Amino acid sequence: MKDKKFSFLKKKENVTYGIVIAVWIILEILLKAGMVSSHLEGLLVPMCYYAIVAVGLNLCVGILGELSLGHAGFMCIGAFFSATFSQIFKDVLPGGVRFFLALVVGVVFAAIFGFLIGIPVLRLNGDYLAIVTLAFGEIIKNILNALYLGLDSKGFHVSLTSVLELGMEPDGKTLINGAMGITGTPRDANFTIAVIMLIITLVIVQNLINSRDGRAIMSIRDNRIAAESIGLNVTKYKMQAFIMSAAIAGAAGVLFSHNISTLQATSQYFGYNVSIMILVYVVLGGIGSIRGSVIAAAVLYLLPELLRGLNKYRMLIYSIVLIVVMIINWAPAIIEKRQELMMKLRKGNRKNGTA
């Protein structure tokens, strides 16, 4: 019985990887043939990093069962730390090595901030995590908007007032220029790298879910008291899932910062509304469904952009699609019909296997 369940889960994972790879191959062929507009081409990397952060948030919301409203803040941490690293080593390291190290820097610092937030909050029950992460996202954004960071032969200089207050030597370079952000970050990210990062994220999350630790995390989600009664270290497993979720959001931020030339900590990119939008992707894709998060993020990010030509009806069509997706995913009658169809398909596969 366990072997059958394991093989079914592996098939589901392989289908998810297959969908991502198939879409990448098709789009690459269309790009090479010049059949994709420059507007759509510019949306491909953002589509991937929103899918990555949606998978990370689903790990927190769907698998762990804790609501986070600050994943845009973790994206912001990963984006700024990695972009600062790339700025420092822009003329020292080759592009591939620089991007890989910037990715490590962004992920590590996002995980550190996730750990610092999780220490006091994840020991408690209730909606404290949602409140704290919401505040964290706004605090980080405002701090970075007021931060001036420079580097010269004497080292780093920090100010919260202006560039002049940095007091740098003539050879100094401004890394973060307050509300102007970081300019001139190497654009090392591309669609292929974004897809590779998405697949790596899927592999990490799926392996965690199917592991012993993943089962422990889901048991805590389902019944914390029962999990404690059998000796599970609840705080440890909650910290593990939340830190991994924050690190994945940081990786999405690295991809974001290396896809644009000017990085600013604005509400448009890292505000509360962005965190809510990512949560919408998770809910509409199905809470706990990793594949659903990827598909929902891709479709719901691209749809408003592709409908920009329909100025008057764009948001109306988008709203109708959201309602339809919500009904398909959560209406009891449709869920029942979908389960019946899946049972028939499984029975058909078994008959074909025994024939």
159 strand-pairing partners: 148
Q: What percent of the chain has pLDDT over 70?
A: 90
Determine the pLDDT at residue 311.
67
Residue owning tokens 């300019």: 183
Task: Report yes or no on 242 lying in a domain.
Answer: yes
Indicate the pLDDT class of residue 245, thresholds 50, 70 and 90. very high
Q: What is the distance between the alpha carbons of residues 38 and 220, in angstroms, rounded to a whole number?
A: 46
- Give the structural domain span for 75: 2-306
Task: Report yes or no on 323 lying in a domain.
Answer: no
Task: Report yes or no on 39 lying in a domain.
Answer: yes
Specify the DSSP element, H or E, that contains 177.
strand 173-177
- CA distance readout (Å), 245 to 71, 137, 178, 205: 9, 15, 28, 9
Residue type (1 letter), 50? Y
Task: Report yes or no on 57 lying in a domain.
Answer: yes
Q: In CATH, what number is assigned to the domain containing residue 145?
A: 1.10.3470
Determine the pLDDT at residue 268.
87
Specify the DSSP element, H or E, that contains 174.
strand 173-177
pTM for the whole structure: 0.87
Ranges 5-9, 92-96, 248-252, 324-328, most confident: 248-252
Residue owning tokens 């990397």: 45
Q: What is the distance between the alpha carbons of residues 122 and 107, in angstroms, rounded to a whole number?
A: 20
Indicate the pLDDT class of residue 353, thresholds 50, 70 and 90. low
Q: What percent of the chain has pLDDT over 90?
A: 35
Instruction: Calculate mean pLDDT across residues 16-20.
Output: 88
User: Could you tell me if 89 and 82 are in contact, meaning their C-beta atoms sit under 8 angstroms apart?
Assistant: no
Of 101 and 121, more confident: 101
Q: What is the pLDDT of residues 121-166, one digit of tens each?
A: 887 776 788 888 889 989 999 999 999 998 888 888 888 888 888 8
Task: Report yes or no on 244 lying in a domain.
Answer: yes
Name, in order, each residue with C-beta under 8 angstroms of 232's C-beta and a sequence gap of 6 or more: 216, 219, 220
Among 71-85, 108-122, 282-296, the minimum mean pLDDT is found in 282-296
pLDDT of residue 51 exceeding 70, the answer is: yes
**How many independent structural domains does the chain possess?**
1
Q: What is the distance between the alpha carbons of residues 294 and 229, in angstroms, rounded to a whole number?
A: 35
Residue 338 has a CB neighbour count (10 Å cut-off) of: 13
User: Could you tell me if 180 and 144 are in contact, meaning their C-beta atoms sit under 8 angstroms apart?
Assistant: no
Q: What is the pLDDT of residues 68-82, one digit of tens each?
A: 888 999 999 999 999
